[in-house]
Every structure is written in structure tokens, then in C-alpha cells.
Amino acid sequence: MGTVTMIVGALMTVNYLYALSLVRKLRRGEGVIASWTMPPEEFDRFRGVERARKTRKNNWRMPRGDWPSGLPVVFSANAVLVGDTYFKLLGKGISRFCNVRIETDAVSSVEFAMRLTVHSAGTLNLTARYRGHLRVPIAKVASVQAARVMSHFQQVIAD
């Protein structure tokens, strides 16, 4: 039992260190296709709209604390870092996005329609598809960067 625990612990540590290296690269600006900073008052409005939403809930569990210097949003070719939360954005695979659009609300956002497909193991061959949404707020001054993000990820879907 101890060996299994050590192996699982080692694999989790390697996975954590890999994810940490990806986040650090984005923060250094490596591979960035667009970035902006959400001013605190705009982020508060966005957070209020998201909390009041009854349908199409956001998969991003937003931070409760304030971001006094603004919430950083950084997109790479296949991921987004929103504050301290990293999301992989793949157009193919078990967990993928199948649509991207601009959601216009009190604060605009880039919305990814996400799909997770799970296949059962065993004698029954069952497939379940779960749907979700990831909305990332767009700063008012970042319309050009948001258009670049839309163009890039629409191309990912088309390929």
C-alpha cells in the first residue's frame, strides 16, 4: 500500500510541477496571443452578473477576494490564465470546447461552450456527455485583444 501511495504522490508532484511551469511561462509572456487586466470595478460587476446567473453557469470558480491591481487575463494558443486559475483549451479530445463567442452583458466576456465525454468501462458501453461554459471577462479597453482570441479559437474549431 505504501508503494502505491508513493507512486501516486510522485505522479501528482510531477503533474503539479508541469502545470506550474506552464503558468510561469504565461506570466513571463511566452506564447501569449492576447492579454489584458480587468480593472477591479469591472471585475466586481462581472462577478455580480455571474453570481446572479440561473442558467449556463460558469465553470470558473471565481476568486472571492479583490484584485486591487486588476485581474490579469492571459491567453496562449491552447490555454487561458485568469488570475491564478489555469484552463487548458483544446478543440479535440475528451474535454474540449466546441464553440467560442462574445457574450455581451453588463461586462462582456469570451464564452467557451465546453464538452466532456466520458466512456464507461466494463460490460456496458455507455457514453455520457456533460456540457458547461467557461466565461472569461473582457476589459473595456481590450476589444482588439478579444477579437484576436476569438479569431484564433474559431480557427482551432475549424481545423
Please write the tens of the pLDDT for every residue from 88-144: 888 787 778 888 999 888 889 999 988 877 766 666 666 666 788 999 999 999 999
Provide the whole-model pTM.
0.80
**What is the rounded distance in angstroms from the CA atom of residue 138 to the CA atom of residue 97?**
19
Query: What is the chain's mean pLDDT, rounded?
Result: 86
